[in-house]
Chain A
Amino acid sequence: MTESVISAPVFGQRDPDERGYFGAYGGRYVPETLVAPIGALEIAYLEARRDPTFGRDLHRLLTTYVGRPTPLAPAERLSAAVGGAQILLKREDLAHTGAHKINNALGQALLAARMGKRRIVAETGAGQHGVATATACALLGLDCDVYMGADDMARQALNVVRMQLLGASVRRVEGGSRTLKDAVNEAMRDWVTNVTDTYYLLGSVLGPHPYPLMVREFQSVIGREARAQAIEAGGVPDVVVACVGGGSNALGIFDGFVDDAAVRLVGVEAGGEAIVPGRHAARFAGGTMGVLQGTRSYVLQDAHGNIEPTHSVSAGLDYAAIGPEHAWMRDLGRAEYTWVTDDQALHAFHELCRREGIMPALESAHAVAHAMTLAGTLEGSARILVNLSGRGDKDVDSVAARLDDSSAAGGGA
């Protein structure tokens, strides 16, 4: 009973300025039609988070429905095999629906219901946010339309079926690069058209203010739990590592440790095949300041301000902009960012499967891969906490296809 206290929501600890800026990043770059609805959303959110009833309702769902707190445990065989520091895993993959996305989806769905909106639209890349949103809508009796890029529908087919089984309509997006960015465009077009009765449930710390704040606050339960659990197990870790697409799982876990100055916070972007335009999604490695889909942050773009295509083996990291608060944390020197390649992530995926019996999402495998590299450079007494943000069932087909490719290549040699 008392254990679930650590899963209670906490709001208002680290707000951006009143215009939604974290330093030079964030803001509200939206067409005029969305200005008033986003203003109304901000007011509704600020009211909700002051209301103890809202916090209690969310807390109840997080414990009795999501199954929080999720465990934190050492990856003993993996750590032994890698050598050096001990690797700890925060098991968001064990949350209901199999990823951290449900924390935010439930928070926002409760807010939507409170605002009297009966229809939800959402975008999804890997499908985890779509599944989480469809789940929250099923639970609360809301209509749900999820936009998904055609390429992502092909590579995350399992999640498409899951969303449909949960009663959501999955809307295929054929425009642009047919991935997450294009799904966001289409979801925003829907919202701008149906804004009076529709709530846009954005899945990461992106988009116009207040989304980056709101999504981080709904995900910060990860960090609060992890800090309490780590202390119980011997103290705060030396390093916290998380993968960064938009960056909601990373900010969620970082938030718990941001005041522990000695704890290094490391975000891991998708290095894809190589840091060459079009072949990766590492915004801090190849991006510049820009405005995409409502927010000002680091963006992968060409010299003319057009958004560049991105690539990652993981659909959830395959996005051209990074959450504005990450850009600010980097400027402040409070968090550091690196990237790992598709191949490194796949290697980590296999290692975690074989040595721990845990099949991670390919997104989360990026964080595991970096933790494995880092462990070897640290003392045996050091501890690295990895946010294992999701489970990998959805990626089995992609990984199997790669296995077929490599064994076919091997056979020909």
Chain B
Amino acid sequence: MSRLDEAFGQIRSEKRTGLVTYVTAGDPDLVRTRSILRTLDEAGADVLEVGVPFSDPLADGPVIQRASERARAGGTTLAATLEMIGGARGELRAPVVVFSYANPILAMGSQTFAARASDAGVDGVLALDLPIEEAGDFRATMLDAGLDPIFLLSPTTSDARIKRAAELGRGFLYGISRLGVTGARTELADGAERMAARIRAQTQMPLALGFGVSTAEHVAAIGRWADAAVVGSALVSVIEKAAGDATLESALAAYVQELTSGHGSARYAEGRVDETRRLERHHGVRATDGRE
């Protein structure tokens, strides 16, 4: 059983909404990314996605494009990202997923990448522009190295493809809840619920829904349809605004606690006690959120 399986198993057994966080490696620099990952982990993130900066992030909106440019300006590469994860792994509870465009992985060589990622303690890999049809060898290489290959689903994905992704993927399925590039929105896409239902009709595999998630209400709403919410651009915006300031980690921690508070959730009343227990169990501290 992989660390991702355990994480989603726990989310389900605790009947709460999981939180998958995304940050770009090397934004503002790799030392700081390690500290950011520790913060997100301690604040209650269930899965830590680490984005590899790339020169041509064609599926990303402006926020993650800028993060990628900042990271590249500081010299962050895929190799350095894996090294950082290797250093951080021992400090982290949550599974780590590397989120990358195909080319940096192919330039390193899929075999070398799998070996290095496995050594670094990476749990899963999502290659954004390797759809199922192109991912055959890549998937086998990841599985051989003990890494979970994760596939994306979008509103344009057919039911048959959803089924295939569930058969071929491991860990969880990542559902993009609307058309378009990454980026926070004030409203969740109308289609998110319908999409989750479509996926649920094909598979009971753990499902995380993302793209546009930025508030506790979004997370709570997603919790009614899926196992977890993915928050990316909104977190990256917090990192961008802090511009390396010492208050960054506390701002991120407060934001993650807000997102996982269950506030606005139909489950809030029943989930509240569990939530407090969870924080105590994992971090040995009482949640100090004002609502507690």
Contact = CB atoms under 8 A, between A and B. Distances in A.
Contacts of B129: 29-31, 291, 294
A192 B181 contact: yes
Interface residues of B, number: 39
B137 interface: no
A292 B57 CA distance: 10
A19 B137 CA distance: 15
Interface in A30-53: 30-37
A391 B158 CA distance: 45
Contacts of A182: 56
Interface in B152-199: 152-158, 161, 176, 179-181
Contacts of B154: 31-33, 35
Interface in A276-323: 288-294, 299, 301, 303-307
Contacts of B78: 304-305
B128 interface: yes
Contacts of B56: 176, 181-182, 185, 292-293, 307
- A37, A192, A196, A305 — most chain B CB neighbours (10 Å): A305
Contact of B157 (A28, A32, A185, A293): A32
Contacts of A290: 103, 106-107
A34 B128 CA distance: 11
B65 interface: yes
Interface in A172-216: 175-176, 181-182, 184-185, 188-189, 192-196
B118 to A, nearest CB: 19
A27 interface: yes
A306 B154 CA distance: 26
B230 to A, nearest CB: 14
A307 B153 CA distance: 27
A37 B103 contact: no
Contacts of B152: 31-32
Chain A contact residues: helix, strand, loop or mixed? mixed
B266 interface: no
A189 B56 CA distance: 11
A303 B151 contact: no
Interface in B127-148: 128-131, 133-134
A289 B69 CA distance: 23
A188 B58 contact: yes
B212 to A, nearest CB: 12
B108 interface: yes
B176 A32 contact: yes
B156 A36 contact: yes
B104 interface: yes
How many residues of A sit at the interface, in one of the four size bands?
Answer: 35 or more
A342 to B, nearest CB: 23
Contacts, number: 114
Nearest to A288: B107
Contacts of A195: 156, 179
Given A35-B157, A185-B56, A28 B133 contact: yes
Nearest to A194: B179
Given A29-B102, A305-B78, A193 B108 contact: no
A215 B262 CA distance: 52
Given A30-B129, A32-B152, A306 B72 contact: yes
B49 to A, nearest CB: 16
Contact of B107 (A33, A189, A303): A303
B54 interface: yes
Interface string B83-114: 00000000000000000001111111000000
B115 to A, nearest CB: 17
Nearest to B60: A189
A291 B61 CA distance: 20
B79 interface: yes
B106 A305 contact: yes
- A33, A184, A185 — most chain B CB neighbours (10 Å): A33
A29 B104 CA distance: 13
B77 interface: yes
Given A32-B151, A303-B107, A306-B72, A185 B58 contact: yes
A305 B180 contact: no
Contacts of A188: 58
23 contacts: A31-B128, A31-B131, A31-B154, A32-B131, A32-B153, A35-B154, A35-B161, A176-B56, A185-B57, A189-B180, A192-B179, A291-B102, A291-B106, A299-B103, A304-B77, A304-B79, A304-B107, A305-B78, A306-B54, A306-B72, A306-B77, A306-B104, A307-B56
**Complex A-B, nearest 5 residue pairs according to Cβ-Cβ distance, in ascending order:** A305-B107, A305-B104, A193-B180, A33-B154, A304-B77
Interface of B: 54-59, 61, 65, 69, 72, 77-79, 102-108, 128-131, 133-134, 151-158, 161, 176, 179-181
